[in-house]
Amino acid sequence: MLDIYGVSAAVMQELVQIAREARQKGWWHPFSTVLSGAYVGLEAATRSIRTYEQQVIPGLLQSEEYAIAMIRAARSGDNDLEIKQRVRVRMERQSLLIQDDPIDLWVVLDEAVVSRPVGGDAVMRDQLAKLINAARLPNVTLQILPFAVGAHAGMDSTFAILEFEEEGDADVVYIDNATGGLFLEKAEELGKYISIFENIQATALHPEESIEMIEMLVEEPLWKSNRRVSGSI
């Protein structure tokens, strides 16, 4: 899948090797232009990921049709082949959750993520069903951060905390954006985002309550209701 991102196998092997063995802090910054596409390689080298999402289902949990709709909307300049390639990579990444030694994934989703019908009604219902199934995997924890909590610690950004397999490897925070991605690995930066995630995690619904909420949304989606939010026309 690396060639789709324009990253050679040799470069990727070197980057992951550094992540696993060299244990050198700061190595991400010189490779910032490559790493915007090489995130998938770093993801595969982790033992666990904790992520907070404000707008979309994380790639590791997306259905194929949801991914197509999301990428088409967010990357309007991509042609059909490019979209197809990106979706294929996204689907292949999901094997990390079900392989013999799967990574641990802890996801907190803002309620907006499960309330917006990306791809339309049928696609979103299928996506919610996929979320429910994923949340029942022993290595996946899913929580919903409901609108009712009001202001919270994660309002500034969406992010992922990657913890690497080897004990001495430097963990890293990844912040995605429209022009690529930003990697943070200084101790104070990492500590800040860990604190934010723990705060969000404590505020969000319990995992079982989160599954129940998603099940209710499958039956009665918010986007099908006649209720209007403040400021709507």
The CATH number of whichever domain residue 200 belongs to comes to 3.30.870
**Structural domain span for residue 76:** 47-224
- The answer to the question of residue 233 being in a domain is no
Domain count within the chain: 1
- The answer to the question of residue 121 being in a domain is yes
**Token pair for residue 179?**
């022009």
- The answer to the question of residue 63 being in a domain is yes
At 64-80, the pLDDT tens digits run 999 999 999 988 888 88
- The answer to the question of residue 179 being in a domain is yes
At 151-196, the pLDDT tens digits run 999 998 899 999 987 766 789 999 987 777 788 989 999 999 999 9
- The answer to the question of residue 217 being in a domain is yes
- The answer to the question of residue 166 being in a domain is yes
Cα torsion angle, 101, 58, 91, 135, sign: positive
- The answer to the question of residue 2 being in a domain is no
pTM, 2 dp: 0.81
* Cα-based distances in Å from 217 to 44, 61, 169: 32, 17, 40
Q: Give the pLDDT of residue 33.
A: 37
Question: How far, in Å, CA of 60 to CA of 66, rounded?
Answer: 12
- The answer to the question of residue 35 being in a domain is no
> Which of the pair, 82 or 214, is modelled with greater confidence?
214
